[in-house]
Structure 1
Amino acid sequence: MDRRLLALGLLLSLPASADEGMWTYDAFPSEAVKKAYGFAPTQQWLDKVRLGSVRLAGGCSASFVSPDGLVMTNHHCVRECVEDLSSPKEDLLAKGFLAKTPAEERRCPKIEANQLVKMTDVTERMNTATKGLTGAAFNTALKKEMSAAESECATSADVRCDVVTLFNGGKYQLYQYRRFQDVRLVFAPEFSMAAFGGDPDNFNFPRFGFDAAFLRVWQGDAPAKSPDYLPWAKEGAKEGDLVFVSGHPGGTERKATVAELEFQRDVNLPYTLLQLAELRGMLREFASTSAERYRTTRSKLRAVENGLKALRGRHQALADPALLARKRQEEAELRKRVDANAQVKAATAGAWEETAQALDTYRRMLPEYKMKEGGDAYPSELFTMARHLVRAAEEQPKPNAERLREYTEAQLPSLRQQLLRAAPIPLELEEATLGFGLNRVRETLGADDSFVQLVLGREAPADLARALVRGTKLGDVKVRQALLEGGKAAVDASKDPMILLARKVDADARAVRKRYEDTVEAVLKRNGERIAKAHLAVYGTSGYPDATFTLRLNYGQVKGWDENGRAVAPLTTFGGAYARNTGKDPFKLPDSWMKAQAKVPASTPLDMATTNDIIGGNSGSPVVNRDGRVVGLIFDGNLHSLGGRYAYVPETNRAVAVHGDGILTALEHVYGATRVVKELRAASEDSASPAR
């Protein structure tokens, strides 16, 4: 890894690659694409691809791929749904799922799909609301205006509206989404095939995973119409082809100050890595004790392992002295240009210093904030529901602008769906994770801490967790519904032990949240906005904003790279997957694939690497060609892409996707998913490509 980090540092000094950028749809650099690849997407092309893109609640991307609401995404994006639909007698995560008729499509309790239909600039409105304000007053006014704009926009439960912060506050936009709350599972492969190679292959390439799944959005008793969809390509992608990725990158910090990057390196990432490492150990031990515990734990364990590996990669990138040296150079150049402009200098005075001071405040507060408000003390689905019920009861009687952001009118439909979903909750796993959290809070804050005493009293963490989980009735949807609809009177009267815990800790949690928002968040937001505006003033608006889990489009090509003198080819094949099969996890091909080996030419593409600039959140993003047709499905990046949180390195940063030909081939010849294949092919034949 050291060589790769050295390469990262050396390459950061090179000019930005043409393929770099997570572009908003209203500022996509079509002319730059034309200059690099001889093709400029038209507005019609951009609108079609935007409307064909989907965001899934929970942090993934997806796309419409037929006019009848068929949605393509990753298996790991629907893994929780498959688990929710499983039981000890029917382990769908292990054997996979295929709905052979519309009636067999099963509703996913926790998935919501959003389609971005409108973007409106509200920068002036937000700036007017916060003009002349600093500190807590700035933060309060900004959140109040955001809530007002969102509530005005969200005119029904089928509409979701979010004020989106771009360029760290340099711009604000109001995004309006069409909401689909009835989302049903159509197809999912076996867990072992979706995650073929397991943790050893994760963030590596060559890859041979089939991390694909299909959903369908419904309205009423019928599939929803989706006229703006992305048809399948007539020909698959080849090495060197121009490709686009439309999705929702979760977050980058390429415009962060040096102080913010140092805080991540020295404080936040070490804290989180320790938390995840200990949680992984606990989950591994828990899962090893019985087949049923393994069944209910493997999805969470996979997610924890993925997060641990990803964050370790980020930390190693920040630990490379060359990266921080480059960032210091860039910051010094920006400040030099700011100082040369008297007006910009006056507007930015003290911004970097105040940012550093706020982070120093957060450094001392972080463990307390993470434990009390961040939820690290009580990592339990049942507790999370209890907290939402307690806080919703407190917040809803308040004027909308004065509520916590999660409980404004614009957010309530999503909250209601989250609380009233009918999904199984594995109680033994709940006991284990809650016990882990209660033990961690005692270790972190100390046995004599007043909050620890409040939570634990004289109880041992494991004993208290067991009593809470076994005593609560919140696993029953009807109980949650009665508390939600009964409001404060019902919550105050409840004797449910999980509700009582949520009420008991809420004052401390709210207090540390307010202290964080007033002394840290408010300062970072205001000064981030000031620095962003200074950057825009001296460099212009030709760049792209940091990722914020909002819809972005990027471009690149199918391309391998050089790994320490070894050429890595951009395409893998079905034959390669069979050659990699050892018959033992995590390199064991499922029976469905072994039986189909003679049906599929070994040269059929399975996975591919591209130069597209992606990050976590892009999982499930469609890869489309210059005709706006699907040629692949993003599901990962290589190890070099982990440093993409902070910088894009064109020589080695690669996105990893399931190849479009591989998806169709596996659906037809491995899984016999003829209904899905026919729908995809019919949609491809019926659709005209968007104008270029």
Structure 2
Amino acid sequence: MHRFLLALGLLLCLPSRAEEGMWTYDAFPSEAVKKAYGFAPTQAWLDSVRLGSVRLAGGCSASFVSPNGLVMTNHHCIRSCVEDLSSPQKDLLATGFFAPESQSELRCPKVEANQLVEMTDVTARMNTATKGLSGAPFNTALKAEMTKVETECATGPDVRCDVVTLYNGGKYHLYKYRRFQDVRLAFAPEFPMASFGGDPDNFNFPRYGFDVAFVRVWENGQPAKTPHYLPWAKQGVKEGELVFVSGHPGGTERKGSVAELEFQRDVALPYTLLYLSELRGMLREFSQGSPERLRITRSHLRSVENGLKALRGRHQALADSSLLAQKRKAEAELRAKVLAHPKLKASTAGAWDEVTQALELYRPLLPEYRLKEAGDGFQSELFTLARQLVRAADELPKPNAERLREYTEGQLPALRQQLLREAPIPQDLEVATLTFGLNRLRETLGADDSFVKAVLGRESPADLARALVTGTKLQDVKVRQSLLEGGKAAVEASQDPMIVLARKVDTEARAVRKRYEDTVEAVLKRNGERLAQARLAVYGTSGYPDATFTLRLNYGAVKGWQENGRAVAPFTTFGGAWERHTGKDPFKLPDTWLAARGKVPPETPLDMATTNDIIGGNSGSPMVNKDGHVVGLIFDGNLHSLGGRYAYVPETNRAVAVTGVGILAGLEHLYGAQRLVEELRAAQAP
């Protein structure tokens, strides 16, 4: 990481390099690609790759890889599905899963897949709705207009529409998706192989993980017809070869103000790092209690460890003085250009100061907001369901434009899926995590805080958590359905202890949410928009907008890098995986791999590193060659990529993918998934 920070200080002042950029599909720099690599994607090429790309609504990327609804993604992207389909008697995380025929594919209770079919610029409409407004009225009008636009667009439950903020509010686009909520598991390897190397290897390279999974979207009881898909390449890629990644990067702050980056460094990230560190410790201790506790905890623990490592890398990047020095320099240059232009000077008057003031207000508010509203004080799936039911009862009778955004008509299909999913909720783990959250609530706000007293009464966090979890009936989907359909009368009459708690805390949770939205979010959005419009006026739209978990395309090459004076090669092999096997977790290969030694030539490429500019959310993204054919599957980045939220360093920033050659070899020779292999090969281009 230290070498990353040194390189960062030298490179931030340089112009954008060829590989940098998370480009929207309507503004992809084809000519820049041609200049660098001799190939320019055509509009037909871009449309084909876009329509072959998929978003998993839980926070990952994917792709169609056959005309029969087959979707490729990472194991860690659908790990919760595998866990939901498991039991003490049938541990699919441990054994893996393969459906020998389509009818034996298993429905994932929580997974929604989206295909981007249309993009429309609605900037003028948003600006008209908010013209002359600031503060809370601006925020209210903006959200109301977003809801109106989305509702007009969403003509049925199979359509999802989102108004997307681009260039920090400089532009607004309406993204229309084809929505699939019947998503079924077709193949998943063993959890130890998907995450081979565990936390020590996470965000590192060389890697030897087989982080691969296949699901299928269904419609009307049949595999969906998906004529737009990405064919599998007949040959793998070589070092130096041009590759593209199409996916949904979750979020970057490369255009963020210095004040916002300092807030992340000094307040937001330290809070979250401490919270996750303590949660990781609790989960580790809990998981050691029994084999069953380990089974129900390992996925959650892995997610916490991943988040902790990623955020630690971000904090290290922001803690380096050279990064913020260059950000201050760039901001000063923008200010100077704005001040030199009378119109821009007037339109941005006070904007930077207002951002700083809003963040100062947020400093003392953040822990309260995180604990009461964002869920940190109530770490429980059952409580989340209770809160959704309580709020749905309050919100759904309101006019659509006046509801909280997550309860608008356009969001109802996703909300119903969350509330009515058939998935197990482990009781012991619920008690442990809710106890943890309640303890954090009391420790942070204090035992004498009125909210804490209202929640705990005379109970200890552990006793209250146990009483709530063992007393609630919300594990039963029929109970949840009855409350959802019964509306406000049913929810208000319910004596279910989790519903009672959700009702009790909702007034104060809503109040802190309103304070945040009115005094922080509204100010940041309005002034972010003002500064973004000024930036666009000064620099134009030749650059790319910050990532927003919307579909982006980037390009790069298969390439290693120099690390502490040694060369890191861009490929690992199956032979290297067998050599890395120690017989002890997390470097223990499953029996399928040990038994298959010799069936796959040891020099067969397994994982690879490329210069593609990715970030969290790109997990599951397809990697394609210049023909638009699949040559890999993104599943990680190296340590140097963690600072990519704030800046891209081409010398060391690397994306990590499973090779397409390796995926086919594993499916065919290790897992005997011949049905999928034949489907993928049948879909190959001539």
Q: Same fold (TM over 0.5)?
A: yes
Query: Would you say 1:506 and 2:503 are equivalent positions?
Result: no
Q: CA separation in 1, counterparts of 2:365 and 2:598?
A: 60
3-state SS of paired residue (2:183): strand
**Aligned pairs for 1:98-497 within 5 A:** 98-497=98-497
Q: Which amino acid aligns with 2:220?
A: G
Instruction: Note the 1:592-631 alignment, pairs <5 A.
Output: 592-631=592-631
1:103 shift after superposition: 1.3
The residue number in structure 2 matching 1:87 is 87
The 3-state SS of whatever aligns with 1:648 is: coil
Residue by residue over 1:122-181, the C-alpha shift from the partner in whole angstroms, topping out at 9 and shown as x without a partner, is 000000000000100000000000000000001100000000000010000000000000
Q: Deviations over 1:88-111 (max 9, x none)?
A: 011100010000011110000010
C-alpha separation between the residues in 1 aligned to 2:528 and 2:582? Answer: 51
Amino acid of the residue matched to residue 625 of structure 1? N
The residue identity in structure 1 corresponding to 2:83 is E
Alignment deviations for residues 557-616 of structure 1 (CA, whole Å, 9 cap, x no partner): 000001121100001100111111111111111110011111111110000000000000
TM-score by length of 2: 1.00
Distance 1:581 1:518 in 2: 54
In structure 1, the partner of 2:658 is: 658
| TM-superposition CA deviations, 1:490-533 (whole Å, max 9, x none) | 00000000000000000000001111101000000000000000
- Matches of 2:424 and 2:364, distance apart in 1: 39
Counterpart of 1:573 in structure 2 is: 573
Q: CA deviation at 1:17?
A: 1.1
User: AA paired with 2:621?
Assistant: S
Quick one: which amino acid aligns to residue 162 of structure 2? Answer: D
Distance (whole Å) between structure 2 residues aligned to residue 201 and residue 577 of structure 1: 12
Equivalent residue, structure 2, for 1:640: 640
The aligned residue for residue 60 of structure 2 is 60
Deviation at 1:10, TM superposition (A): 2.4
The amino acid that maps onto 1:511 is: A
CA distance in 2, matches of 1:3, 1:548: 28
Separation (CA, whole Å) in 2 of partners of 1:645 and 1:160:
27
Gaps of 5+ in 1: none
Q: CA deviation at 1:220?
A: 1.2
Specify the code of the residue in structure 2 equivalent to 1:534. Answer: A
Q: CA deviation at 1:364?
A: 1.3
State the Cα distance separating 1:218 from its structure 2 match. 0.3
Counterpart Cα distance in 2 of 1:629 and 1:352: 46
Q: Provide the rounded CA distance (Å) in 1 between the counterparts of 2:150 and 2:113.
A: 18
Distance in 2 between residues matched to 1:11 and 1:319, nearest whole Å: 17
Using the alignment, how far apart are the partners of 2:260 and 2:396 within structure 1? Answer: 35
1:72-98 C-alpha deviation (Å, 9 max, x unpaired): 000000111001101101110001000
What's the offset of the Cα at 1:16?
1.8
Q: What secondary structure sits across from 2:410 in the alignment?
A: coil
Deviation, structure 1 residue 275: 0.3
- 2: CA distance between counterparts of 1:147 and 1:598? 57
* Distance in 2 separating the partners of 1:173 and 1:541: 14
**How far apart in 2 are the matches of 1:653 and 1:254?**
15
Q: Determine if contact 2:258/2:324 at 8 Å carries over to the other structure.
A: yes
Code of the aligned partner of 2:349: A
8 Å contact kept, 2:633–2:657:
yes
User: SS where residue 184 of structure 2 aligns?
Assistant: strand
Aligned to 2:562: 562
Letter in 2 for 1:593: W
SS at match of 2:543: coil
Contact 2:637 2:655 in 1 (8 A): yes
* Counterpart code for 1:117: V
Aligned equivalent of 1:45:
45
CA distance in 2, matches of 1:271, 1:236: 44
Instruction: Tell me by how many angstroms 1:6 deviates.
Output: 2.1
Inter-partner Cα distance in structure 2 for 1:211 and 1:182: 23
Identity between Structure 1 and Structure 2 (%): 79
Task: Show CA shifts across 1:181-222 (max 9, x none).
Answer: 000000000001000000000000000000000000000111
**Post-superposition offset of 1:13:** 2.7
User: In the TM superposition, what is the alpha-carbon distance from 1:240 to its structure 2 partner?
Assistant: 0.5
C-alpha displacement at 1:46, in angstroms?
A: 0.3
The one-letter code matched in structure 2 to 1:202 is: N
Q: Offset of 1:264 from its aligned partner?
A: 0.1
Amino acid at match of 1:504: K
State the Cα distance separating 1:641 from its structure 2 match: 0.1
Deviation digits for residues 420-476 of structure 1, max 9, x if unmatched? 000000010000000000000000000000100010011100000000000000000
Q: Take 2:631 and 2:317, find their aligned partners in 1: how far apart are those partners?
A: 31
Amino acid at match of 2:628: G
Alpha-carbon distance between aligned partners in 2 of 1:390 and 1:364, rounded to the nearest angstrom: 28
Q: CA deviation at 1:7?
A: 2.5
> What letter matches 1:123 in structure 2?
T
Deviation digits for residues 526-559 of structure 1 (CA, Å, limit 9, x no counterpart): 0000000000001011010000000000000000
Q: Distance in 1 between matches of 2:593 and 2:15?
A: 45
Alignment gaps of 5+ in structure 2:
none
Q: Determine the C-alpha separation between the residues in 2 that align with 1:373 and 1:36.
A: 48
- The aligned counterpart of 1:7 is 7
Q: 1:541 maps to which residue?
A: 541
State the one-letter code of the partner of 1:250: G
The CA distance in 1 between the partners of 2:489 and 2:652, in whole Å, is 58
Letter in 1 for 2:164: V
Alignment correspondent of 2:32: 32
Letter in 1 for 2:294: Y
Distance 1:53 1:350 in 2: 42
Alpha carbon RMSD of aligned pairs, Å?
0.6
Q: Take 1:418 and 1:241, find their aligned partners in 2: how far apart are those partners? A: 42
Secondary structure at the counterpart of residue 572 of structure 1: strand
Q: Is the 8 A contact 2:7 2:649 kept in 1?
A: no
Give 1:478 shift. Answer: 0.2
Offset of residue 11 of structure 1 = 2.6
Distance apart, 1:234 and its partner CA: 1.3
Name the amino acid aligned to 1:209: G
Which residue type is aligned with residue 35 of structure 1? K
3-state SS of 1:411 partner: helix
Letter in 2 for 1:25: Y
Give, in whole Å, the separation in 1 of the partners of 2:238 and 2:572. 11
SS class of match (2:529): helix
Is 2:23–2:545's contact at 8 Å kept on the other side of the alignment? yes
Give the Cα–Cα distance (whole angstroms) in 2 for the partners of residues 338 and 12 of structure 1. Answer: 21
AA at the equivalent of 1:326: Q
